């Protein structure tokens, strides 16, 4: 048998690829407790018959809109099971941007055999309503990426969904959560906004590096072998995706770095796996700016980068020690502590390195740790050494 195929299922690093996949839903969301609570507040009273609620969720790409709405739907379904059976119908309006397509998705979530053609939207909605009442079900419709539907076909369907119970005795058939990347309120007519309620809008912000770290930590523990990574690597991935604030970018980076390690036949991820992938991303930092730095700033960067070729991070004290050695190597008088600190800050502000506060490892002292998530330390070393050998 061909031995190269031994790699299939070898799982040197990846124990379970599922948590790295696009549609995977973790049991617990990281750092979205406030937003979930807010959704719960917007849906207060939903356990009572006749009640329906609406919410609009906006936020930048990868801020967790879809996963937050899905988690809320899943939890609400479980929570209401004993009192008011609820079903969730999620439609991605990017893949189904027209009104008939969206309607068809909604109705088939209740009635899988519903014929595809031959009915107007009003008829379909009333038949949906009758079926819901007949089955004693409440339906939560999640219109994801709803801006695609609004741009393509206007807001007619939203309007109809919001007033589905109008002129009927029994109310509360459908609740609605709409999701969009940009604020779409201004695209909607005043009649819809007033029905929806401006106060029902909830906006998610991009993730900070700390929040991305918690998300990556969760995925790494779910999918990778425990011996293949440590906390500093998790941090490095979060920092590399920090500029985007996008959880998807961070998870992809983790998955790609793990695959790279496996492709190389290794059992552990290295910081260089993350850095090589991060520089290929469009947001990658342009290494040419290094040439413009002042002499001591470059020497500090050189000492840092030499260590970061092997380790994911380095502490301030270690930078200073290595900087003194580098100055000796080039016969240059080193700057004092405060100036070194100033240069490190400058490099951090420029985005060449990232800093995080941590403990010294000795006693309870606090220090900064630096890493280089979006540049390849060995490239930086080569670039700087070339300048000094000229
Ligand atoms: N708080 C979180 N905890 C755990 N995983 C998360 C969290 N936020 C996002 N993710 C994961 O990150 C990825 C992107 O999240 P999601 O798809 O929800 O973002 P989005 O805001 O809907 O992005 P888009 O605008 O592209 O639709 C998903 O795989 C999701 O499971
Ligand atoms: Mg989404």
- How many degrees, rounded to 5, is the angle at CA 36 between CA 32 and CA 39? 145
User: Tens digit of pLDDT for each residue in 74-110?
Assistant: 999 999 999 999 999 999 998 999 999 999 999 989 8
CA of residue 292 to ligand 2 center, whole Å: 40
- Note residues around ion ligand 2 (Cβ under 5 angstroms): 65-66
Closest CA to 211 of 188, 237, 192, 233: 237
Residues (pLDDT < 50) of the chain are none
Sorted by where each starts, the structural domains of the chain and their CATH numbers stand as 3-14+207-278 (1.10.8.60), 32-203 (3.40.50.300), 287-389 (1.10.10.10)
CA of 385 to the centre of ligand 1 (A): 41
Task: Give start and end residues of each alpha helix (H) in the chain.
Answer: 33-42, 65-80, 99-110, 121-135, 146-153, 156-162, 190-196, 209-223, 231-240, 247-263, 271-280, 295-308, 316-330, 337-350, 377-389
pLDDT at 361: 59
User: How far apart are alpha carbons 213 and 234 in whole angstroms?
Assistant: 6
Q: How far is the CA of 62 from the centre of ligand 1 (A)?
A: 5
375 lines ligand 1 (CB under 6 A): no
Ligand 1 binding pocket includes 30 (Cβ within 6 Å): yes
Burial class (CB in 10 A: 0-12, 13-18, 19+), 348: middle
Ligand 1 atom at minimal distance to the Cα of residue 25: 31
What is the Cα–Cα distance from 370 to 317, expressed in whole angstroms? 11
Ligand 1 atom 13, closest CA: 248
User: What's the distance, CA 253 to chain centroid?
Assistant: 11
| Nearest bound ligand to the CA of residue 70 | 1
In this prediction, residue 363 carries a pLDDT of 54
**In this predicted structure, what is the pLDDT of residue 68?**
98
User: What pTM was estimated for this model as a whole?
Assistant: 0.82
Q: What is the pLDDT of residues 36-75, one digit of tens each?
A: 999 999 999 999 999 999 999 999 999 999 999 999 999 9
Q: Which ligand is nearest to the CA of 68?
A: 1
Q: Alpha carbon of 117 to those of 48, 96, 112: distances in Å?
A: 35, 16, 14
pLDDT at 111: 79
Contact 39, 55 (CB under 8 A): yes
Does the beta carbon of 222 sit less than 6 angstroms from any atom of ligand 1? Answer: no
CA 66 – ligand 2 centroid, Å = 4
């Amino acid at each position: 048998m061909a031995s190269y195929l031994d790699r299939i299922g070898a799982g040197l690093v990846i124990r379970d690829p599922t948590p790295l996949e696009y549609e995977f839903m973790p049991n617990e969301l990281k750092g979205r407790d406030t937003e979930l609570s807010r959704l719960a507040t917007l849906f207060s009273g939903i356990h009572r018959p006749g009640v329906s609620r609406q919410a609009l969720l906006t936020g930048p790409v990868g801020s967790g809109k879809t996963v937050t709405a899905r988690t809320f739907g899943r939890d609400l379904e479980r929570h209401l099971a004993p009192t008011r059976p609820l079903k969730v119908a999620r439609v991605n309006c990017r893949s189904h941007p027209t009104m008939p397509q969206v309607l068809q998705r909604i109705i088939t979530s209740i009635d899988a055999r519903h014929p595809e053609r031959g009915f107007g939207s009003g008829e379909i909605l009333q038949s949906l309503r009758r079926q819901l009442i007949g089955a004693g079900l409440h339906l939560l419709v999640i219109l994801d990426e709803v801006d695609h539907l609004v741009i393509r076909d206007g807001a007619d369907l939203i309007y109809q969904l919001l007033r589905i119970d109008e002129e009927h005795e029994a109310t509360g058939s459908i609740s609605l959560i709409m999701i969009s990347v940009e604020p779409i309120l201004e695209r909607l007519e005043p009649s819809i906004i007033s029905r929806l309620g401006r106060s029902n809008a909830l906006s998610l912000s991009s993730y900070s590096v700390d929040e991305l770290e918690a998300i990556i930590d969760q995925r790494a523990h779910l999918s990778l072998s425990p011996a293949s990574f440590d906390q500093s690597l998790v941090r490095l991935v979060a920092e590399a995706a920090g500029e985007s604030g996008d959880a998807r970018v961070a998870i992809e980076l983790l998955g790609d770095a793990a695959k790279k390690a496996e492709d190389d036949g290794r059992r552990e991820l290295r910081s260089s796996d993350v850095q090589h992938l991060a520089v290929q991303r469009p947001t990658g930092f342009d290494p040419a700016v290094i040439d413009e730095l002042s002499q001591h700033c470059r020497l500090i960067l050189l000492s840092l980068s030499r260590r970061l070729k092997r380790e994911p991070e380095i502490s301030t004290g270690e930078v200073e020690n290595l900087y003194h050695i580098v100055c000796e190597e080039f016969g240059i008088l080193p700057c004092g502590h405060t100036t070194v600190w100033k240069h490190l800050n400058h490099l951090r502000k420029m985005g060449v390195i990232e800093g995080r506060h941590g403990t010294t490892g000795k006693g309870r002292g606090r220090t900064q740790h630096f890493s280089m998530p979006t540049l390849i330390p060995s490239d930086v070393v080569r670039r700087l050494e070339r300048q000094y050998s000229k």
